[in-house]
Chain A
Amino acid sequence: MEAVLKPIFQKVDSIADSVIPQFIRDFDKSLQPAGVQRAPLWQWLLWMGAFSVVALWGVVGLIMCWGFGLNQTNMNDYYGFALWIWADLAVIALGGGAFFSGFLKYVVGKENPLKYIVPYAVVIGFVCYSSAQLILAVDVGQPLRAWFIFWHANVHSMLTEVAFCLSCYFLVLCIEFVPSILENRKLSTIPFVGHLTHNFHAAMGIFAATGAFLSFFHQGSLGGVAGVLYSRPFGFREGLYIWPWTFFLFTWSAAAYGPMFTILLTRIAEGLARKKLVAESAIQFLAKVSAYMIGTYIIAKIIDTLYWGFVTAPSMGFSLADFYTGNPLYGYWILGLEVVIGGIVPAAILLSKKGRENPKLLLLAAILAVIGVSTNRWVMVLQVMAVPVLEFDKWVMYFPSWQEIATTVLPVAYGVLLISAAHRYLPLFPYELEQVGKKAH
């Protein structure tokens, strides 16, 4: 295959050289970290162009929703929360790798080997959290009034806590992302920028600790959104003081599964770049930490499920069968998918040293972990809405409109674009730069 493509690529290379002016190619090169190998500019532009089209599709959906209102979606009065809120919860959980790896590096002191992966984890976190903000901005019925949540804040609402902590943590992520941008080869030649970057690095521990603190609360309060609904027995959980158990489970699961998403995206980036970008020691360390986190989380989740299914729900007049039967979609299989396939299996793989060190099994565990936590967030949003509470009410199913799907795909395309740009122009992968340095010597 490569033999067939190589001459074609060479031909396109020569055509692109004659089409793209030399000064643009030089400028592109001058922005890249010194000594690293990057794809030819035309290839990169083609890649970015393709995802820009996807992003544009999402922007069309976004503008339609803002312009014509939420009647563009398939949400209804039974599904006030739907695909977007799921996407919101899912990206926030998956972006948990940023706060947790930062916490491990700066607060716990695992500088080595996490220094190899934290800059990338921060960019992933930035993408996830900026996407979450965008999704929320389109999801509310009156986006121009979204500031009411801060101005007229109801301190008893979990959503208020989410809004405050999410916004603050996004600011922290911006601050954490800034040094990577300032370390760009061209920018770093400015003396002021160099000093600023140094100072940012010096203060990063404080921001990482702040980020971990804020994440604990917003991840938790996202879990509390459904957990406090004592009028919705599917979502409701008992708990500690004002916090339902889902508060702690959400924080725990984000810390457990978030790093696996970081590992998955690292593997994808390495596959596309066709080289090692992150030191294996960093991957293995994160995988080991995730193993224990997922393992303990899934035990807690099983205990929570059993207590909820056999004590809490029956005390409210519901049985497990009420939640998992009598409808075309939400069967016991979804519980199995979340707990067994997305929880026990990846935990079992990761807890074994052999499993972690086997690249294919590690990749499988990462994929299953992402499926597991995404399913949990789906259930805690969509199934909460779907389960009828009134005796004479019925299950209502929902399928998103293309506008909803487009606006949900938009963050994915935006993430690819941002990470691709960051990979090309920023020293995102210290390990790669180390290898370049070693070769040069």
Chain B
Amino acid sequence: MKHDNSNPDAKLYGMVIDLDKCTGCGACMVACFMENNVPFKVNETDKLDSITWMRMFELHNGKDFPHADSCWLPRPCMHCAGKDGHGHYTPCVMVCPAIATDYTPETGVVSQIPTRCFGCRYCMAACPYKARYFNWWDPKWPEGMKNYLNPDISVRMRGVVEKCSFCYHRYQRAMNKAFMEGRKTLKEDEYQTACTQACPAGAITFGDLDNPKHKVHELKKSKKAFRLLERLKTEPKVYYMTTRDWVRRAADRVQEEESRSAGRGH
């Protein structure tokens, strides 16, 4: 991942999720639903066409009691920088035929433009993290719930793709405020995603990966930090941390083996 050198004000927003802290409570998912007007179905038993910008995967170590252990892995969009590190090869961005999804060099956020999307779903085929969701159904909310919709986020229609935006509207709001105050940069706590703020265990840390003043800058360098499918060179901007070897293996067997044979954590 590379910083946009042509723009000194460019940020590289990313996330570090401590899997050892995550309890799998799902507060991040709920917060995401509420913040981003994510639609849901009347019957959510079939998860294959459910929309979950933040999805929880449950991992098991495969052992019986008393050695049994499990881990919850929250998976937002990875906002991949792609194999060139500049977003030109972000898997979903490079395939979208109508430029309905784009990489923002100023922030490193992969955007989605629902009104531009015509629903070909090529981006979904390209995403190895399954972080993109298609609106198979018309969005419907129970009586009265429309009053709780976030006015900063447009509701998506049937037939288009959507995904986690790192709560980009919050970034825009924070930048507007900063601009009015004559600033070009944001403080760390001025722009935080809904899931980060909702996590009761403090498992999610969000910020500018390139900014030494932001916690994520140090956390991503931790020996216990890793990224999913790093070997595919998708350059995801979501890092995970764990001290448990089996979680590393379960999250990415190949990478864990490679790291071990190289004699380093990460």
Chain A residue with the shortest CB-CB distance to B91: A231
Contacts of A362 in B (CB 8 A): none
Contacts of A142 in B (CB 8 A): 117-119, 157, 159-160
Contact B98 A80 (CB under 8 A): no
Report the bound CA distance from A78 to B128 in whole Å. Answer: 10
Tell me, yes or no, whether B169 is within 8 Å of chain A by CB: no
User: From residue 135 to 155 of chain A, which have CB atoms closer than 8 A to chain B?
Assistant: 139-143, 145-146, 148-149, 151-154
Report the bound CA distance from A70 to B121 in whole Å. Answer: 12
| Residue of A77, A156, A316 with highest tally of chain B CB at under 10 A | A77
Contact B135 A141 (CB under 8 A): yes
Count of residues in B whose CB is under 8 Å from the partner chain: 56
Interface string of B77-101 (1 = CB under 8 A from A): 0000001000011010011111110
User: From residue 110 to 156 of chain B, which have CB atoms closer than 8 A to chain A?
Assistant: 116-122, 124-130, 132-138
Contact partner, B130, options A77, A229, A391, Cβ 8 Å: A77
What number of A-B contacts does a CB cutoff of 8 Å give?
154
Contact A225 B122 (CB under 8 A): yes
Contacts of A146 in B (CB 8 A): 118
Contact A141 B134 (CB under 8 A): yes
Report the bound CA distance from A396 to B130 in whole Å. Answer: 12
Interface string of A315-330 (1 = CB under 8 A from B): 0110000000000000
Give the distance to chain B from A263, nearest Cβ to Cβ, in Å: 33
- Choose, from A115-123, A158-166, A264-272, the stretch at the interface: A158-166
Contact B129 A390 (CB under 8 A): yes
Tell me, yes or no, whether A392 is within 8 Å of chain B by CB: yes
User: From residue 69 to 89 of chain A, which have CB atoms closer than 8 A to chain B?
Assistant: 69-71, 75-78, 80-81
User: Interface residues of A toward B: which range?
Assistant: 35 or more
Tell me, yes or no, whether A370 is within 8 Å of chain B by CB: no
Tell me, yes or no, whether A228 is within 8 Å of chain B by CB: yes
Contact B229 A392 (CB under 8 A): no
Tell whether A80 pairs with B129 under 8 Å between CB atoms, given A141-B135, A154-B96, A229-B95.
Answer: no
Contacts of B97 in A (CB 8 A): 149, 153-154, 157, 159-160, 163
Give the distance to chain A from B93, nearest Cβ to Cβ, in Å: 8
Report the bound CA distance from A69 to B127 in whole Å. Answer: 23
Q: Could you list 13 further interchain pairs (A-B, Cβ under 8 angstroms) beyond the known A157-B122, A232-B125?
A: A69-B137, A77-B49, A141-B159, A141-B161, A149-B98, A152-B100, A159-B120, A231-B229, A233-B232, A317-B232, A390-B228, A391-B250, A392-B251
